[in-house]
Amino acid sequence: MSQTQTQVAIIGGGPAGLLLSQRLHLEGIRSVVIERQSREHVLERIRAGVLEWGSVEVLRDSGVGQRMDLEGHVHDGTGIVWGGEHRLSLNTRAAVGRPMMAYGQTNITEDLYNALDARGASIIDSAEDVTLHGLDTSNPRVTYDKNGARQELECEFVAGCDGFHGVSRESIPRNVRTEYEKNYPFGWLGIMSETPPLDEIIYANSDRGFALCSQRNPMLSRYYIQCDLDANLNDWPDERFWEELKVRFPQDISASIVTGTSIEKSIAPLRSFVSEPMSYGRLFLAGDAAHIVPPTGAKGLNLAISDVFYLSRALACFYREGEERFLRDYSETALRRVWGAARFSWWLTNLLHRFPDQTTFDLRAQEQELGYLAQSESYMKAVCEQYAGLPFED
């Protein structure tokens, strides 16, 4: 078995793992990223698109904001339409002084890989059978197979950034973890098309279910519709998708949607999940490894970024000053923001979707709440404060 040594072993080369490696490097802390998939696979995954301003600032501060500032679309907030005619705007700039940024997760991941490559960072991809050892000791180890040979990485800390299906969370003994979970009885069918998007990101609550018009750049649009959990992509040729998307929006908005051939189409189930605590011994979880939110509200990637902000600060204080307080408090601090976003995403999902068991009472309550949000300045401010993202704690 071949052996290497580092300070922080980072499991997972998605946005959380790559950003952590970048921030640790800026603090003079060595790390190795171990990723299960090939780099091509990681870069092909199409996911998030909307950044909170706090995330924009963390990315800038991490030295990976240049392309985002050139190509990202800064906007004032998001529209919501319902009942085929009513509309409101979650104008976060007006309500809480913070705009939003449309910039794809694919681009962020690419920017991070470029930054890591430029400094010759250690990233091991296509690693198989990744296993964590000695997490409750001060010298944990990670073993994995690479090109058929067993490898061992000795380290001082392990950062579990390996997403919902990773090994890190499962390496915390079952009796130490508490899991909170909610599954929703529908999914999102999403497409990407090389067509100009609408000016605004707009969510729709319609009789036929939720729909969303989003964007990546001036010639790249992202659209979603609520679908059944057992929906099959083969049943959704582009024509059917566009037709269904358009009937869920008021006529004037549908008329502005430019359709075209899709370049990607996928279905994602919706789930809320939080695992507590987010640390165990020398293992610290960040991002989807510890929590999942439904995409309504666009919080998942933003939470991965705030976890990494807290974790990189905690490790920097430990290595710089021998101060363990932030590491000790990491789980509690991160979880306060996680639960804020988990609650908000759950609330917005309930407000905007059609559920199979909804009664006429439930539908009138949804309508009432949207109407109230449209006319109450104080309610609007509270919602915008959460949509724009709660501030990071000192």
Q: Which residue in 15, 25, 75, 319 is the catalytic one?
A: 75
Binding characters for ligand RFL, 48-67, by CB under 6 A (x = yes): xxx-----------------
Near ligand PHB in 110-149, by CB under 6 A: none
Pick one of 32, 56, 225, 298: the residue that binds ligand PHB (CB under 6 A).
Answer: 298
Residue 203 bears catalytic tag: yes
Burial class (CB in 10 A: 0-12, 13-18, 19+), 117: exposed
* Sign of the alpha-carbon dihedral angle for 243, 245, 250, 252: negative
Pick one of 222, 248, 282, 337: the residue that binds ligand PHB (CB under 6 A).
Answer: 222
Choices 10-18, 66-74, 148-156, 376-384 (CB under 6 A): range interacting with ligand RFL: 10-18
Burial 78-98 (b: 16+ CB within 10 A, else e): bbbbbbeeebbbbbbbebbeb
How far is Cα 94 from Cα 384, in angstroms, rounded to an integer?
9
How far is Cα 145 from Cα 353, in angstroms, rounded to an integer?
44
What would the two tokens of residue 155 be?
């380290």
Q: Which residue in 113, 203, 223, 224 is the catalytic one?
A: 203
Looking up tokens 């130490």 gives 176
Residue 47: closest CA among 112, 107, 113? 107
Using alpha carbons only, what angle is made at residue 274 by residues 186 and 349, rounded to the nearest 5 degrees? Answer: 35
Near ligand RFL in 70-109, by CB under 6 A: 105
In whole angstroms, how close is the CB of 320 to ligand RFL at the nearest point? 25
Total of residues contacting ligand PHB (CB under 6 A): 11
Pick one of 15, 140, 209, 295: the residue that binds ligand PHB (CB under 6 A).
Answer: 295
Choices 249-257, 266-274, 293-301, 314-322 (CB under 6 A): range interacting with ligand PHB: 293-301
Note whether 341 and 299 are within 8 A (CB).
yes
Residue 41 bears catalytic tag: no
Pick one of 287, 319, 345, 348: the residue that binds ligand RFL (CB under 6 A).
Answer: 287
Choices 160-168, 290-298, 304-312, 349-357 (CB under 6 A): range interacting with ligand PHB: 290-298
Residues linked to residue 263 through DSSP beta bridges, in sequence order: none
Q: Choose from ligand PHB, ligand RFL, none: what does 297 bind? Cβ within 5-8 Å by kind.
A: ligand PHB
Near ligand RFL in 142-171, by CB under 6 A: 161-163, 165-167
Residue 263: closest CA among 160, 169, 194, 183? 194
Burial class (CB in 10 A: 0-12, 13-18, 19+), 271: middle
Residue 291 bears catalytic tag: no
Residue 297 contacts ligand PHB per CB under 6 A: yes
Residue 176, SS3 per DSSP:
helix
CB atoms within 10 A of CB 118: 9
Binding characters for ligand PHB, 20-59, by CB under 6 A (x = yes): ----------------------------xxx---------
Binding characters for ligand RFL, 110-129, by CB under 6 A (x = yes): -----------------x--
Residue 99 bears catalytic tag: no
Near ligand RFL in 301-340, by CB under 6 A: 301-302, 304
Question: By the criterion CB under 6 A, which residues form the site for ligand PHB?
Answer: 48-50, 201, 212, 214, 222, 295-298
